[in-house]
Amino acid sequence: MVGDNSVRLADDSTVPADRVPASLIPIVRRFSRRLRIGLFLDAFPQWAAGALLAAGCAALVCRLFVPAADPYLFWLLAAPALAILPASVLSIRRAYRPEEVLAIVDALTGGDGAVLTLAERHDQAWSHASQISRAAHAALPRFRPWRRLTIVVPALAFLVIALLLPRRTPAAGPSPIADDVVSGLSATLKELQSHDLVTPEEEKQLQQEIERVRKAAEERMDASAWEAADAVKEKMAANAAAKRDAASWAQEALARYSAAGGSTGNPDAASAKAELSKALEALARSGALVGVPMDIQKMLADGKLPGDAAALGKLAAALGQYLGDVQSRLGEVQGFGGRASRFDPSEFAAAGEGEGDGAGAGNTPGRGGITRGRADAKLTYGQESLPAERFKAQALPPGYVRSPDDWAPVVNMPGAPIVAPEASGRAAARAYADDAGQAAFRRTLAPRHQSAVKKYFKP
Amino acid sequence: MITDTRPLLDPDAVGTAQTSIARVVDALRRVILGKEDTIDEVVAALLGRGHVLLEGLPGLGKTELVKALSRLLSIDFRRIQFTPDLLPTDITGSHILQEVDGRKEFAFHAGPVFTNLLLADEINRASPKTQAALLEAMQERRVTIFGETRPLPFPFFVLATQNPIELEGTYPLPEAQLDRFMFKVDVAGVDRAVLEEILTTRVHGEPPALTPVLDAAGLQRLFDAVDAVHMPRAVANYTSRLVAATHPESSDAPPQVRQFVKYGSSPRGAIAIGAAARGLALMRGKPNVGFDEIRRVAPAALSHRLVLDYSARLEGWTGRRLLGALLEAVPDVERGLPQTLEART
Q: Least CA distance to A39: which residue of chain B?
A: B338
3-state secondary structure of A297: helix
Flag whether pLDDT at A32 surpasses 70: yes
pLDDT averaged over every residue in chain A? 74
Other CB atoms within a 10 A radius of the CB of residue A149 amount to: 16
- When scoring A20, A116, A118, A137 by the number of chain B Cβ atoms within 10 A, the one with the most, hence best to mutate, is A116
Q: pLDDT tier at A170 (50, 70, 90 boundaries)?
A: low
Which pLDDT does position A224 carry in this prediction?
Answer: 81
Q: pLDDT tier at A111 (50, 70, 90 boundaries)?
A: confident
The DSSP secondary structure of A120-170, one letter per residue, reads: HS--GGGTT-HHHHHHHTPPPPEE--HHHHTTHHHHHHHHHHHHHSPPPPP
Flag whether pLDDT at A48 surpasses 90: yes
- When scoring A120, A146, A152 by the number of chain B Cβ atoms within 10 A, the one with the most, hence best to mutate, is A120
- When scoring A31, A46, A97, A117 by the number of chain B Cβ atoms within 10 A, the one with the most, hence best to mutate, is A117
Q: pLDDT tier at B293 (50, 70, 90 boundaries)?
A: very high
Query: Which of the listed ranges A123-127, A129-133, A197-201, B148-152 does the model predict with the highest average pLDDT?
Result: B148-152
What is the average per-residue pLDDT within B186-205?
Answer: 83
Which pLDDT does position B48 carry in this prediction?
Answer: 92
- Inter-chain residue contact A34 with B341, CB threshold 8 Å: yes
CA distances from A398 to A395, A401, A405, B208 (A): 9, 11, 22, 164
Q: How far apart are CA A310 and CA A316, in angstroms?
A: 10
- Inter-chain residue contact A112 with B290, CB threshold 8 Å: yes
Flag whether pLDDT at A244 surpasses 90: no
Tens digits of residue pLDDT in A209-233 = 888 888 888 877 778 888 888 888 8
What is the average per-residue pLDDT within A288-295?
Answer: 73
Q: How far apart are CA A149 and CA B186, in angstroms?
A: 48
- Inter-chain residue contact A117 with B11, CB threshold 8 Å: no
Q: pLDDT tier at A360 (50, 70, 90 boundaries)?
A: very low
Angle at A293 between CA A290 and CA A294, to 5 degrees: 110
Which pLDDT does position A459 carry in this prediction?
Answer: 59
Query: Which of the listed ranges A34-48, A125-139, A283-297 does the model predict with the highest average pLDDT?
Result: A34-48
What percent of chain A clears pLDDT 90, i.e. is strictly above it?
9
Which pLDDT does position B298 carry in this prediction?
Answer: 94
Closest in A41, A96, A117 to B288, CB measured: A117
Query: Which of the listed ranges A319-323, A351-355, B171-175, B283-287 does the model predict with the highest average pLDDT?
Result: B283-287
Is pLDDT larger for residue A162 or for residue A360? A162
Q: Least CA distance to B236: which residue of chain A?
A: A113
Closest in A42, A102, A126 to B8, CB measured: A126
Tens digits of residue pLDDT in A429-441 = 666 666 666 666 6
Q: pLDDT tier at A145 (50, 70, 90 boundaries)?
A: confident
Q: pLDDT tier at A1 (50, 70, 90 boundaries)?
A: very low
Is pLDDT larger for residue B78 or for residue A394? B78
Sign of CA dihedral B283, B284, B289, B293: negative
Enumerate residues 6+ apart whose C-beta is below 8 A from B196: none
Sign of CA dihedral A168, A173, A179, A180: positive
Least reliable range by pLDDT among A275-284, A372-381, B21-30, B65-74: A372-381
Tens digits of residue pLDDT in A326-354 = 777 777 776 665 444 444 555 544 444 44
Q: How far apart are the two ends of chain B, measured CA to CA in Å?
A: 36
Cis-peptide, bond into residue B155, ω within 30° of zero: yes
Q: How far apart are CA B192 and CA B322, in angstroms?
A: 29
Whether B126 and B90 have beta carbons less than 8 Å apart is answered as no
Compute the radius of gyration of chain B from its Cα atoms: 22
Task: Give the start-end residues of each E strand in B188-263.
Answer: 261-263
Closest in B233, B291, B342 to A141, CB measured: B342
ipTM score of complex: 0.82
Tens digits of residue pLDDT in B9-35 = 888 999 999 999 999 999 999 888 888
Which pLDDT does position A324 carry in this prediction?
Answer: 79
Tens digits of residue pLDDT in B310-321 = 888 888 898 899
Which pLDDT does position A301 carry in this prediction?
Answer: 61
Is pLDDT larger for residue B243 or for residue A290? B243
Q: How far apart are CA B167 and CA A140, in angstroms?
A: 54
Which pLDDT does position A248 carry in this prediction?
Answer: 81
- Inter-chain residue contact A99 with B233, CB threshold 8 Å: yes
Which pLDDT does position B231 carry in this prediction?
Answer: 92
Query: Which of the listed ranges A319-323, A414-418, B34-38 does the model predict with the highest average pLDDT?
Result: B34-38
Which pLDDT does position A270 carry in this prediction?
Answer: 75
- Inter-chain residue contact B8 with A107, CB threshold 8 Å: no
Contacts of A148 in chain B (CB under 8 A): 339-340
Interface of A with B (CB under 8 A): 34-35, 38-39, 41-42, 96, 99-100, 102-104, 106-108, 111-114, 116-117, 120-121, 123, 125-126, 131, 139-145, 148
Which pLDDT does position B285 carry in this prediction?
Answer: 92
Residues paired with residue B100 on neighbouring β-strands, in sequence order:
B103
To the nearest whole Å, the CA of B53 is away from the closest chain A CA by: 28
